[in-house]
Structures are given as structure tokens and as C-alpha cells.
Structure 1
Amino acid sequence: MSLSPFTQRPILGRAMGEYLIDIWTTACETLGLAAEQWQPPTQELQRLLPDWADDQIQAAPRETSYVADDGFPAELSANWSGAHPELRMLFDCLSDVPHRAGVTDPRSSLWSGSSLFTSISRLFRQPVAAPLWHSMAWRAPNPPAHKVYFGLYGWPLARRGAVVDRAMQLVGLGRAWEHARHRIENGARYGSREIEFVGLDIGDSAVARVKIYYRHQGVDVAEMNRVASVALHHDEGRALAAYRMLTGGRDDAGDAPLTCLAFRSGYQQAVEATTYLRMPSLTTCEQESVERTSALMESEGVPAQRFVALTEAFSPRRSDGGRGVLELVSHRARRSGDVTTYFRFPTFSQPAALPVASAQRA
């Protein structure tokens, strides 16, 4: 019998969207957010979920996703900087992409209203189209913000580079991207890396903000710090200390760590860098992952109690030391306390075959 990791109730037969809204509301309630604040963004999230939200959860997914190892198409994350945490629900659109949606579909109207999205999305939607992911982020008392991600993991490496080059030229960020790519690829001494995602902020602003994600193999924390250092706002000393807290003092960065470089209009280099470490590859159990993450947060002046409460709400401590749901922890060395925790929810007892390139995943 499949059980929800945070309610310990059977989930077979539940609608996928209902399950995700349960996860979202559990997070809001656990963090002590006022219902009058979180109910409007919850309703917006319900409207934005793809058609697969109506599918019932079965033993295996009808259509598998690259988001999680079992093919479940969504994750929830929390950023702990600032007075209030920012909650984010990320979901794979799967086959429910915007050009197939009706004109009244809220996702279609949201994306078509973004000049950045419309200017470069065609580059990623040509056959074979890149999978499209959507993220709704909400930090009280602000309105929700939206991002989309094009997954390039199924494309040949040469095509990824060529399309990203073209996209960055179209939005006026070609010079900054050339600077970053040259330093990353020509300065590498070991390991391998590949472009895996391109992310866009969705809105009506004329100021472009594009994020490019690298996945690494066979690297250590020094190499992760070298890649992050191509960004304008990166404190190498503080970043390395943060990475070592998460790895337990190891040099090894674990399985398939990630680097996100953020580019903004008006800058001739990447502005910010975020490093993601995959905690199950660095620890023996979830309790150890939580302890290391809590120590990092406290060292940067962020009380860890809410993070611990959220983790326990999603994944009650098990006597067998099971890994639970905490998958990734990211750190951005620009301002203190910029730590994000990523939760994935094992849902399917019989995962379908993962998409192309997933065999390389941790």
C-alpha cells in the first residue's frame, strides 16, 4: 500500500492535484502563516496546475517526469532568507504544454504576457521540444511570482550549447554568457559538466533575468566554488565554508551537484550563483541531513526551527533511519541566510522508465 510520507494515509486513488495542494497547505500551516494570507495563492496554484492534476495516483505514473527519481512531476521548496520563508511549488507540465492549452487556460495567458518568454520560447519548443516546468513562488505578504524552466537533459550536448547561445543573444545577454561559459569550461581541471536547464522569470518587466543550470559529475567542493565564482556577487570564503558544513567536512560534492548562474540585463557577467548539493549522497539518513542544514542556517543567522518543523511535518522521523523527503539544499553566497531546501515525495511504488539522460541522475 502506498502511503503519503507526511500524512501516513493511503494515497492510491487520490487526485494528483489534491495531493499537491495538501502538501502546499501543510507547509503553510506548519510555518504558522495566516489562512487569509495563504488561501489566495493556494487558489492560484490550483488554477495553474496542468491537466494531469485530475489524474488519480496509481502504482506507476501514466506519464513519467524527470523531477523526481520515481517519476512524480512536482516538488516543494522553501527559501529561508528574509523575515518570511518563500514557498515554491515546481511542477512538470508533461504533455500539457501551453500551445496545446485553450485560450482561457491561466498558464497560457500568464506566459503569453511575458515578453521574455515569448521572445525565446520558440527556440526550445522546436522538435524535439524541451520539457517545460513551471514554478509558483510565494513569500507573504507579496503576491505569487512565476518562473518557467526548459529541460535540456534529453538533447545532444551540441544542441544545448547552440540553442542557449542563441537565446542569450536574443535577450541581450550574449556577452555575459560568453564570459561565464569561457571561464567555466576552460578553467575546469577535472570532472564533467553539462547545461541541463534554462530558467526564466515570468512577468511583464522589460528587464531580462535568465538562469542557466549546470549539472556536474565527479567534482569536489573546490570545483563547485570555482564555477560559482564566475558570478559578480559571490563570496568564495563564505561559500566554501557553507559547502563543507553540508558535506560534513568532505571535499567530495556528492552525486550530481548543480550550479545555477543568474544573468540580468545591464550586466556583462553572471550576477549571482547558487550551488545545490544532493543531501542523500552526502549523509547516511535524513536526520543527519537536517542537522547539517540546520547548522548552516544557524551559522548564517537564520533560526532553523521552522525548517526542522517543516521537515518533520513532511517526513516523521523513522526508527529505521530512512532518508525521508529532503533531497537538495542550495546556498547562494550573496546575502546571509540565502539557503533553500527542496522536498520530494516518493509516490509511486512502481516507477515508470525515466526520460532520456535520467540514468545519469543521482
Structure 2
Amino acid sequence: MERFDGHHSFAANDGSPVEFSCAMARSGAEVRLLFEPLDTGQTPPSQRAEGHRFVERLNEVLAIDVSRFLLVADLFAGRSSTGSFSMLCSAALRTGGSPLFKVYMNPAVGESRPQEVVAEAMSRLGLDEQWAFLIRQLGEGGFDSPHQGIEGLSLDLGGSPEARVKLYLQHSGCGVEQIERVARLAQDHQPDLFAKILDRLYDAPVDRLVKAPTTCLSFQANHREPVSVTLYCPLDPNLSDDAEASARVVDLLEMSAIAPEPFGALATAVSGADPADGRRFSWVSYKRPTDPVVTVYAGLDGSAEALR
């Protein structure tokens, strides 16, 4: 990690190339890592080249099926702008099973509009009907406006028929109504739930937040509608410090009937003895209302001094 102190990564709020997260449910918790594959010998690091090499190694060493990634990789071949990304990877470390690997791609890196890139990617992945459903529901301008834009596309790696394609939409300067308009497209949408969560997390209206929420729609080949929707809520910089962020996360856990004690131990490990002196917790997400999953994200290199 120290070798990349001079490289500012999109992976974590603090600029480090690894973001830690913990997904908590009523049944237990799972640890996850989002990371930017990098080569210590390259200056500056090449996000796309190293991302491709990492995916290739997954196939060579662990025999993970990466064929879906290869179908669309050339669509995301451009260079990312400063402060953005071209390709990231993640690993969910599951108890009693092999890690689930995902790859995240930025459709804004090339010359084509992100909406055009995603449309072609969905087609190559056999999801034409799912993309047509979104266009009918949200309109041609539903993905390319100042208030709602495509932030990324991710793929579950592996050959499982349950493997997901996930579309991330950022909601800048818009109210809860627009977020609900997207969320209600998913099969597991619960009316007004996201509005309730946003109201409990923030003191300010959603359209006035410093950093905007994101929704993620998950698709599977045998379902026309998105099978699920996830709400991502930025903690930093919308909340003052880790102490305030932790209090809001505990409130969300209790609302979801998830035991908060494991998060208490996690918060101590992440934030240290004085959480009011740091801002390592960056996001919290919520999905699956019938059996909720609340995930917290942290840049472990962050500190009050580094972020102010």
C-alpha cells in the first residue's frame, strides 16, 4: 500500500487503492474488498492494463470463468480522467465458500456516450430485453442528465446462472422522488423505504447533499425487470466525522433488525479510540428489504488530518 502513496485512486475516498467493506445481515457478516489492480513497477500505474491482467490471472490460477468480461472489455478501453477510474475489482470473502469476484467498468472512459456504451454491453451480454425495459420506463434521457447519470457497470465473474450485471446511477441535485422512480423498477422495491432511510441518515434534504446518493439496479438473464435495487448513501463528506457516521449506521441497523454489536467492534477497529477525530467511513448501502443487508465502506488510510 505504501508504494502507492503518490497515486490517488478512485477506489477509496482517501485515495488509497483498497476500500474495505463489511456486509451485515441478520444471519451474519461478510468482509469485502474493492481494489484497483496496480503494477508497482509502472509510473504512472495503468488501471486498465493491470485490471485486465488481474482478471486473466483469476482465470488461469483459480479457473474462474471470465468469458462475460471478455465479451465487453473492448467497450471500456479508454483512459480515465483525473479523479475517476477505468476498471476496479472486488472480492467478497464468503464464510465457507470461495470468494466472489466482480469487475467494475467506467463507461465514460471512451469517446462514446456512457448510455451508448452500456446499451452495447447489455446487448452483448444477452440483456437486450432488460435494457429496452429501462428505456421504456425512464426514457432516452433517463441516463444522461445533470441530475441522473450512469456511474458504472459491474459484472459478477464466474459461470453461475445467477451471476448479475449491475448498473450504477448517480442522483445529483435531485429529490427522493427521482430516486424512488428508479428504485420502483426493481422486483424487491418497497415503497417509500429509501425515502425513510435517507431521512434518517441526513439532516439536510437529499438534493442539497455535498455528495449525492447512488442507486444500483441488478439484472439477471432470466428476469426482464431488475431483480434488486441497492441504495448507496455517502457518509463522508455529508456527515461530520466517524462518530456521527457510526451513530447513523447503528440507527439503520436497528431499523433493519440487524444486531449492531458486530458493527460496534468494526467501528472501533476502523476509527480507533476517538471516532470524532477521523472520517474513514465513506458509504453505507442498503438492499433486500425482506432480509436486509446493510454494508459499510471505509478507506483505511483516511484520517481527519489527511481529509481536511
Fold-level match, TM-score > 0.5?
Answer: yes
Letter in 1 for 2:134: A
Q: Is the 8 A contact 1:194 1:215 kept in 2?
A: yes
Describe the shift of the 1:109–1:82 C-alpha distance in structure 2 as closer, same or farther (beyond 3 A): farther
Please, which of 51, 60, 66 is the counterpart of residue 114 of structure 1? Answer: 66
In structure 2, C-alpha distance between the alignment counterparts of 1:91 and 1:287, rounded to whole Å = 25
Match of 1:66? 10
Q: Greater relative contact order: 1 or 2 (C-alpha under 8 angstroms, separation 6 or more)?
A: 1
Please, which of 269, 272, 282 is the counterpart of residue 228 of structure 2? Answer: 272
Letter in 2 for 1:120: V
In structure 2, C-alpha distance between the alignment counterparts of 1:317 and 1:324, rounded to whole Å = 13
In structure 2, C-alpha distance between the alignment counterparts of 1:83 and 1:238, rounded to whole Å = 21
In structure 2, C-alpha distance between the alignment counterparts of 1:294 and 1:82, rounded to whole Å = 14
Count of paired positions: 290
Structure 1: give runs of 5+ residues left out of the alignment.
Answer: 1-15, 17-55, 352-362
Quick check: 1:180 aligned with 2:137? no
* Structure 1 residues 276-355: aligned runs within 5 Å: 276-318=232-274, 321-346=276-301
Letter in 2 for 1:306: P
Describe the shift of the 1:349–1:249 C-alpha distance in structure 2 as closer, same or farther (beyond 3 A): closer
Match of 1:91? 35
Cα offset, 1:290, TM superposition: 1.0
Letter in 2 for 1:282: N
Is 162-171 or 244-253 further displaced after alignment? 244-253
Letter in 1 for 2:166: K
- 1:131-169 deviation digits (Å, cap 9, x = unpaired): 22111102312321111111234445x431111101111
- 3-state DSSP of counterpart to 1:290: helix
Q: Is the 8 A contact 1:239 1:333 kept in 2?
A: no
Mark the structure with the bigger radius of gyration: 1
Match of 2:199? 244
Q: Is the 8 A contact 1:136 1:144 kept in 2?
A: yes
In structure 2, C-alpha distance between the alignment counterparts of 1:299 and 1:137, rounded to whole Å = 25
* Structure 1 residues 1-362: aligned runs within 5 Å: 16=1, 56-57=2-3, 60-61=5-6, 63-94=7-38, 95=46, 96-97=49-50, 99-100=52-53, 105-106=57-58, 109=61, 113-124=65-76, 126-128=77-79, 131-155=86-110, 158-185=112-139, 192-248=147-203, 250-252=205-207, 254=209, 255-318=211-274, 321-346=276-301
Provide the identity percentage: 28
In structure 1, C-alpha distance between the alignment counterparts of 2:160 and 2:183, rounded to whole Å = 26
In structure 2, C-alpha distance between the alignment counterparts of 1:317 and 1:270, rounded to whole Å = 42
Describe the shift of the 1:212–1:295 C-alpha distance in structure 2 as closer, same or farther (beyond 3 A): same
Structure 2: give runs of 5+ residues left out of the alignment.
Answer: 39-45
Describe the shift of the 1:122–1:205 C-alpha distance in structure 2 as closer, same or farther (beyond 3 A): farther
- 3-state DSSP of counterpart to 1:236: coil
- 3-state DSSP of counterpart to 1:118: helix
Letter in 2 for 1:78: C
- 3-state DSSP of counterpart to 2:257: coil
Cα offset, 1:217, TM superposition: 1.1
Describe the shift of the 1:89–1:110 C-alpha distance in structure 2 as closer, same or farther (beyond 3 A): same
Describe the shift of the 1:225–1:93 C-alpha distance in structure 2 as closer, same or farther (beyond 3 A): same
TM-score, with structure 2 as normaliser:
0.82
- 1:30-54 deviation digits (Å, cap 9, x = unpaired): xxxxxxxxxxxxxxxxxxxxxxxxx
In structure 1, C-alpha distance between the alignment counterparts of 2:59 and 2:303, rounded to whole Å = 27
Cα offset, 1:199, TM superposition: 0.5
- 1:226-264 deviation digits (Å, cap 9, x = unpaired): 221121211023332222221247454721211111010
- 3-state DSSP of counterpart to 2:25: coil
Describe the shift of the 1:345–1:141 C-alpha distance in structure 2 as closer, same or farther (beyond 3 A): same
